[in-house]
Structure 1
Amino acid sequence: MKLSQLIAATLLCCTSISAVAAEREIDRVAAIVDNSVVLESDIVDIVERVKRNAAAQGQTLPSDAALRTQATERLISTNLQLQMAQRMGMQISDSQLDDTIRNIAAGEKLSLEAFRQQVVAEEGNYERFRERLREEMITNEVVRANVQRRIYISPQEVDSLIKLMEEQGASKEQYNLGHILIAIPAQAGTDDVNQAKERADKVMELLRSGSDFKRIAIASSSGAKALEGGDLGWMNINEMPSLFSEAIRGRKKSDIIGPLRSGAGFHILSIFDIRGDNVADIKEVRSRHILLKPSIILSEERARTMLAEFAAKLRQDDSDFAELAKQHSEDPGSKLNGGELGWAEADIFVPAFRDTLNRLEINEISEPFRTEHGWHIAQVMEKRTVDATADKKREQVYRMIFNRRYGEEATNFLRELREEAHIEVMSEQ
C-alpha cells in the first residue's frame, strides 16, 4: 500500500447506524508533507475564513478551486515550518500565547472577554483561533531564526544609502503595495521561464483591462501574501526590495507595474495607496528587565512563580529592582547594570517584549511574560520622543536595509524549504 493510501486509511472511521455498519469519512489527507499531512478540514477552514473576510470587505473572489489551491499551498508552507520548529525544539507556551492575545486585545482597546466574544462572532471558534495564532508565532520565529543569520550589513552600505537619500531628498512617502508572483522553479529551464512569462503577461492583460488586483492575486500569485490579496502593507521606498523600489519611483496610486524578473519569478505590483507620514521623530523607552531561563533545574512554572514574587515585592517597595537583577537575572548583557537596557525603540525587541514595553506605563512593573529567551518581568523607567539625529538616522537606515534584505531572504528560505521537501498533493475525492 502506498504511503498516501496508508495515511488516508488511518483517518477513516466506521459508525453503526441501526444494525448496519457504514463507513463515514470524518476527515481525509489532502497532502503529504514530509513526515506530516495537510487535512481536508484545514483547507476548508481557510477557504471559509477567506470568504468571510472578503464578504465583510465587499471583495470579489476567484473560483473555489483557486482558493483551494492557495489554501493548500499556505498549509504546506506552514506545515514545513512547524516541522522545522519541532526539530529546533521551538515552542510557544500557553503563557506566551496568553500574553500575545492580551497585547492584541489591548491594542484594540478591548477587555480579554470582549476580545474573545469578537473572535467567536467573527470566526466561530476561539480555541481554533488560539492554536492558529500559536502556529503563526512559531512560524514567524522559524523564519526569523533562519533568515537573520543570512543577513550582513556593512557600515559602508549604511553610509552609501544615507548619502543617496541626502542627494535625492529622503522621501517621507510610504507605499501600500499589492504583489503578485508568478513563480519559476529554482532549476528552471528556458521552457519554464517562457511559460511563466506568458502567465505573467496574461495577468497583466487582465489587470489592465480592469480586473480586480486582489482577486487576481488570490487566484494566481505564488507570493506569501496571496490569500491576503497580495497586500504587502505599508513600506518606505527604501525598505522594499531594490527591484520594487526602482520600479515604483515616480509612479502614482493604482498604477500597475511589471512583470519584473527576479530569481523567484515574475513580479507584478500595484500601488494600492500612498501616504506621506513617515515621521522622523522616534519614540524611545528606557527600560530594565529580569530574565530567568527555564532548564532541567528550573521549571517553567518555577521561573514564572519566582518572577511573580519579585514583581509583588517590587510593587510593595520591599525589594530593589537593580539588586534583584544583579542577583538573579540570566541576561549577561544587562545583569551587571541592574537589568537596564538603556534607551531604545521598543520595536528592536522580540514581539512579546516589545508589546509589553508598549503597554506599560512609566515605573509600572509587568506581570511575568514569556519570550523565546525565557521568562521576564520588565519596567519602563522613562519615555521620550527624539529627533532622527545622525546616529538615529544610521539606525533607521540600517533597519531599512535589514527589512529589505529580510523580505528577500525570507522568500528564498521558504522556497528552499519547499523544494527540499517531499510533497504529494492528493486528488480531490
Structure 2
Amino acid sequence: MKTSLRSTLAIACAAAMACAGLAHAQSGSAPARRGITDIMRSGPAVVPPAAPRPAPVQRGQRIAEYIVALVNSEPITNTEVQKRLDRVLDEAGPEAQRMPREVLARQVLEQLISERAQLQLAKELGVKADDAAVDQGVEIVARQNQVSVAELQRRIAQAGISREEFRGNIRNQIILTRLRERELESRTKVSDGEIAQYLAAQQSGAAGAQDINIAQVLVAVPENAGAAQVAQLQRRAEDIAQRARAGQDFAALVTEYSDAPDKSAGGALGLRSAERYPPLFVEGTQSTPVGGIAGPVRSPAGFHVLKVLARERGAAADAVVRQTQLRHILIRPDAKRTPEEAVALLQDYKRRIQGGTADFAALARDHSQDPGSAKNGGELGWSVPGQFVPEFEEAMDRLQPGQISDPVVTRFGVHLIQVEGRREAKLKPEELREVARNTLRDKKMEEAYEAWSQEVRARAYVELREPPQI
C-alpha cells in the first residue's frame, strides 16, 4: 500500500527486542545479526526509596518475588525487572555493562512503568495485535537472527523463556508500535513549505544537508514541575555541561545522569541528516566542532547537554537510489473475516497464481481492497526506500523480481506482494518530495514521541514499593 504514513518504529526491531534472551542461549556466542533495537524509551528516572543493597543476583539464581511498583493498580514484579535487566545486559555495549547494576535496575523499572502505562492506554483505545501479526513478528525475529522459526523456538526455550511469554512480548511491542503511530500521527503533519525548504537546503549544500551524530545527556523536567524544580534541574544540567567541557568522559556522564533512552551507546543518537534531528539540536550545535560540547538547551522534555560526535556531508538531492516496481493485493480483516482467514485467503491466491490457474492482476482487480491500486491490477509503480510501512518494505526487499511474498500483515490489513522489477535511477521531482516528506515526518515523530511518552507516564498513577533486587 502506497502511503505517506510511514512508521518510524519498525515492528521488526520492536519484536526482536523480545528475543534478547537468544543471545545467551547460544553457548555464549552472539547472534549472527545484532541489529536488535530496544524501542522502549523512558521518561524521567524514578529513584525508589533508599534501601540496604543486597548481594547481586546471579544468572540462574532463584529471585524473590514481590511487587516493586504499581501502575494504575497493576503490579510490576521483581521478577519482571530482573528478566528485563538480564536482557538489557545481554544486548548492552561495554559502557552499559560497566554501569552500576542498581542504576540499570532503576532505568529498567522506569522503562517498564512507561511501557505498562502505554499498554493500558492501548487497551482503553482498543488497539490490538492479532495472532497473524504475532506470527509474522516471530518470523521477523528469526530472519534477523538468521535462523529458522523452529530453531528460534528451541533457543528461546533453552534461554528459559516460554513460548507464551515470547509471543506475549512480541504482541505487546506490536501494540505499542500501533498505539504510537495512532497517537502521534496528528502531530507529524508535514507542510509543502517545509518540504520546499528541506529540498532547497539539500540543493544549496547548507547545514541542513549535513549528516551529524550527536550524543546527549538529558536532564528530564516533569510536566508539572514548578519554577524551583526547573531551576534546580537546569543547574544540574549546567554542572554536567561544565564537567563535560572540562574533559570528563561524556559516556560516563550519560551513564550517571542522563534520563534519555539508549544509554548503552553513550547517549549517541546516530549518524543521520540534520533534518532528522530536533531543530534546537541542530541550532545548538551549529558552531560546535566535532568533539565539542553545546548546551544545555531546553526542550519540552527537559535540558539537553549535547556533544558533536561526527559531521559528514549528506547525500545529494540527485543521488541514485534503488527503486522497486511492485504490485499487491490487500485484504482488510473485518467483522466477517478474521486476520487469520485473510492470511489463508491470500495463501490460496498465491498457490493459484504460482500454479498457473489464476492471474495476479485479475485477482487484484476483483478482490483487492486498496481502492487506489485495485483498478490497475494492484500496481503500485516504482517505489523508493522508505515509502512503505516497515513490515511491507521488509518483505518487499527480500523478494527477487517475479517472486511473490507470503501474506504480510500491516496495520492496513494483509497484503500479497509481487516484485516486478528493480532499477538504479535518479529520483524524479515528485519522488524527491516524497522522500523529503518521509524524512521530515520521521524527524517530527521522534520529537513528538518524547513529549507524548512523558504525558502518558505523567497521567498514570504510579506507586513505588520496594526497590528491585540487584
Instruction: State the shift of 1:267 in Å.
Output: 0.6
1:51 — aligned with what?
89
AA aligned to 1:74 is Q
Tell me, which stretches of 5 or more residues in structure 1 are unaligned?
1-23
Taking the aligned partners of 2:160 and 2:273, their CA distance within structure 1 comes to: 36
Pair 1:330 & 2:338 matched = no
2:256 — aligned with what?
219
Pair 1:125 & 2:161 matched = yes
* Relative contact order, higher structure (CA 8 A, sep 6+): 2
**Deviations along 1:22-57, whole A, 9 cap, x unmatched?**
xx9952222111252222212112222333334x64
**Deviations along 1:244-300, whole A, 9 cap, x unmatched?**
112233544433322111222101222344455747322222222112222232133
**Deviations along 1:183-217, whole A, 9 cap, x unmatched?**
11223332112111121123224434544434432
Equivalent residue runs for 1:266-345 within 5 Å? 266-276=303-313, 278=315, 280-345=319-384
More deviation, 91-100/300-309: 91-100
8 Å CA contact 1:253, 1:273 repeated in 2:
yes
2:236 — aligned with what?
199
Secondary structure in structure 2 of the residue aligned to 1:333: helix
Taking the aligned partners of 1:351 and 1:258, their CA distance within structure 2 comes to: 34
TM-score using structure 1 length: 0.84
Secondary structure in structure 1 of the residue aligned to 2:372: coil
Instruction: State the shift of 1:314 in Å.
Output: 0.6
**Deviations along 1:84-142, whole A, 9 cap, x unmatched?**
22223222334323323433444555444565677678x66374555434322321221
Tell me how many residue pairs correspond in the alignment: 404
Instruction: State the shift of 1:143 in Å.
Output: 1.1
8 Å CA contact 1:293, 1:373 repeated in 2:
yes
8 Å CA contact 1:50, 1:227 repeated in 2:
no
Tell me, which stretches of 5 or more residues in structure 2 are unaligned?
1-61
8 Å CA contact 1:67, 1:219 repeated in 2:
no
2:416 — aligned with what?
377
Instruction: State the shift of 1:74 in Å.
Output: 0.7
8 Å CA contact 1:290, 1:376 repeated in 2:
yes
More deviation, 180-189/406-415: 180-189
The one of 259, 282, 285 equivalent to 2:296 is 259
Equivalent residue runs for 1:59-98 within 5 Å? 59=96, 61-98=98-135
8 Å CA contact 1:32, 1:425 repeated in 2:
yes
The one of 50, 60, 77 equivalent to 1:39 is 77
Pair 1:248 & 2:285 matched = yes
The one of 362, 368, 372 equivalent to 2:407 is 368
8 Å CA contact 1:103, 1:359 repeated in 2:
no
8 Å CA contact 1:172, 1:236 repeated in 2:
yes
**Deviations along 1:369-406, whole A, 9 cap, x unmatched?**
22222222111112222214433332232223212211
Structure number, greater radius of gyration: 1
**Deviations along 1:38-87, whole A, 9 cap, x unmatched?**
22212112222333334x64655332232122111111111111112222
AA aligned to 1:359 is R
Percent identity among equivalent residues? 28
The one of 276, 286, 294 equivalent to 1:239 is 276
Taking the aligned partners of 2:253 and 2:171, their CA distance within structure 1 comes to: 29
Secondary structure in structure 2 of the residue aligned to 1:334: helix
The one of 451, 454, 468 equivalent to 1:415 is 454
TM-score using structure 2 length: 0.77
